[in-house]
Amino acid sequence: MEQKFQQYYPTYNYKNRDIVLLEFEEAQRISNSQSKLYGQLANLLLAFVTVGVTALVKSSDNSNVEVVTVVRENVFVLNFFLSLIGFIVLRYFIELQKTIVINSRKAITLRGMLGLDYGHLQLTIPRWRVEGATNPFVIKHFPGWFSFGSSPFWVIVFSLNILWYLTYKYVEWELMREFWFFVNVFITLLFVYVYRMQLREYHETFGLLFIKIVSKILRIKLIKNFEYVLYRAKLSTHEKNRLQYDTLIVEQTLIEIEDVRFFKHKGVDIKALGRSVLSMFKSYRSKKRLLKSGGSTITMQLCRTLFIRPNKKVIQRKIIEILLSLWFERLFSKLEIINFYLTSVRFERKINGIISATNYFFPNKKDKKYSYEEAFFLVERLSNISSSYRLERIESLLSRINSAKQINKSKLIGLYQEIENKGLICRDV
């Protein structure tokens, strides 16, 4: 089947710079005009609400008995109608915010194509500003709860809460009058959910937002920009396919060694986690001829590599790994995950991804296919930090995999010795 490639920016350049320059200027103009419009509308909304609340308070006296009577008799319908209007206005601001972000990202991308990189001037043009950013994903859809971009949200929510507080005593239903505070909370949470979820990034789900909250509670630091990391992971995968690296044997070997139930679980293997606990005991490892392992699936290892900063809190980190892997498996297929893994994880110190690992260990390799011996070697090198190898570990791994029948043991050992002679690895005795 023909491979369909998706073009990710900024991986190409235009030859006709004049066209790009015009596009850049137009994107900048639209972004600036929309930002000004957003600010003006936010100020107008604030002024309108201030006048409205003032008028409501003044009308609460008996100066206009007929108006007050009508309002009190239909207060629930009025509140519902105003809440609906508030929701429509909020949606308008949300769509305007999205459009501003899209045009800002476009301006950053086109600036990169033109070679205009002045984001290193940190003192005058910080990288998180549109003017200085070189990464489009620095500009996010959600501006933050306490930034100016969220001011329309707070104005609408506070206005509706004040409106309900001033009028709840006139509602016919006694239950709603007694529990008026919970109505305020419900209104707030409803608008919080709508606003936050409408401004989420492409891969950002409610589950991921929950995971970020849990990680803060457990004090596990996650990377800040998930979208950029996923963009880089996708780009690396497409680059591997573009260069026509045939990694099928490596994938098979990887699954056999690291996660034999990879195609059966949903990101977490309960049996593997149980085995990892038992493998902590030396007597059990000797009896079962096992190596000490963490019980992480391929998906868990990938999530740790991509999203979790180095941390010594093993149990807390494992909890976040499990939650992230469950989220990740819902977004991507098994084939995508295995490709992300091969193009992202560390094979050796400062050597990430299978293309870099191939060039590092096999610089004279002419074809882009892997023998069973080469595949085993690369998988065994995963996440290695000491640049050493042990024959005991090699023997143990060979005893666990079915593809060992295809591996010439003497050729495999010879491969290790050859790479050792180059000074890239050393034998641990």
How much is the average pLDDT of 403-428? 88
Question: Cα separation of 416 and 427, whole Å?
Answer: 9
Is residue 194 domain-shared with residue 230, that is, in the same domain?
no
Strands 351-352 and 388-389, bridge-based pairing:
unpaired
| pLDDT computed for residue 372 by the predictor | 93
Look at the chain and report how many structural domains it folds into: 2
Contact 215, 222 (CB under 8 A): yes
Instruction: Kindly state whether residues 161 and 258 are assigned to the same domain.
Output: no
Detail the DSSP E strand segments found in 126-239: none
Residue 262 CB partners (closer than 8 Å, separation 6+)? 255, 297, 298, 334, 338
Region 142-150 average pLDDT: 86
Among 8-17, 99-108, 124-133, the minimum mean pLDDT is found in 8-17
User: What percentage of the chain carries pLDDT values higher than 70?
Assistant: 74
Taking a C-beta distance cutoff of 8 angstroms, is the pair 141, 199 a contact?
yes
Task: Give which of 321, 327, 228, 174 is closest to 10, Cα–Cα.
Answer: 228
Q: Is the pLDDT of residue 310 over 80?
A: yes
189 pLDDT tier (thresholds 50, 70, 90): very high
- CATH number where 361 lies: 1.10.3810.10
Q: Which of 56-60, 123-127, 181-185, 353-357 has the lowest mean pLDDT?
A: 56-60
Residue predicted with more confidence, 225 or 30: 225
Please indicate, yes or no, whether residues 137 and 241 belong to a single structural domain of this protein.
no
Q: Which two tokens stand for residue 26?
A: 């137009």
- Is residue 194 domain-shared with residue 272, that is, in the same domain? no
Other CB atoms within 10 A of residue 67 CB: 10
Answer yes or no: is pLDDT of 29 > 80. no
pLDDT band at 10, cuts 50/70/90? very low
Q: Does one domain contain both 188 and 252? A: no
Q: Is residue 365 domain-shared with residue 323, that is, in the same domain? A: yes
User: Within its chain, how far is the Cα of 98 from the centroid?
Assistant: 18
Burial of 237 (0-12, 13-18, 19+ CB in 10 A): buried
Residue at which a domain ends, from 200, 217, 242:
200
222 bridge partner residues: 308
Does any domain span residue 12? no
What confidence score (pLDDT) does residue 7 get?
40
In terms of C-beta density within 10 A (0-12 exposed, 13-18 middle, 19 or more buried), how is residue 361 classed? buried
| Cα dist from 409 to 374, 394, 399, whole Å | 12, 10, 12
Average pLDDT score over residue span 1-9: 39
Q: What percent of the chain has pLDDT over 90?
A: 29
**Separation of alpha carbons 295 and 334, rounded Å:** 18
Mean pLDDT estimate for the chain: 80
Q: For residue 104, what pLDDT is reported?
A: 83
For residue 8, name the pLDDT band (cuts at 50, 70, 90). Answer: very low
Omega into 143 within 30° of 0, i.e. cis? no
Structural domain containing residue 74: 17-200
Highest mean pLDDT: which range of 85-94, 326-335, 390-399, 418-427: 326-335
Quick check: is 212 in a domain? no
| Coil, helix or strand at residue 351 | strand
Considering the domain architecture, whether residues 174 and 251 belong to the same structural domain is answered as: no
Cα dihedral 423, 356, 381, 395 sign: negative
What integer is the mean pLDDT of 89-111? 83
CA distance 290 to 284: 8
**Structure tokens given for 320:** 């976040």
pLDDT of 140 strictly over 70: yes
Task: Work out the average pLDDT over 107-131.
Answer: 66
Q: Is residue 395 part of a domain?
A: yes
Average pLDDT value for residue range 143-164: 86
pLDDT in tens, 358-414: 999 998 888 889 999 999 999 999 867 778 888 888 888 888 888 778 888 899 999
Kindly report, residue by residue over 210-234, the tens digit of the pLDDT.
Answer: 999 999 999 999 998 899 999 889 9
* Six-digit token string for 213: 């909250």
According to the model, what pLDDT value does residue 122 have?
54
Residue 7 within a domain: no
Q: What does the pLDDT read at residue 277?
A: 66
Interhelix angle 226-242/334-344, rounded to 10 degrees, is: 90
CA distance linking residue 346 with residue 303, whole number of Å:
13
| CA 346/CA 256 separation, integer angstroms | 18
If asked whether residues 22 and 125 sit together in one domain, one would say: yes
Cβ atoms of 419 and 380 within 8 Å: the answer is: no
* Global confidence as pTM: 0.79
Residue ending a domain, among 166, 200, 234, is: 200
Same domain, 98 and 241: no
Chosen domain end from 131, 165, 200: 200
The pLDDT of residue 66 is above 60: no
Residue 194 shares a structural domain with residue 301? no
Mean of the pLDDT values across residues 130-145?
A: 82
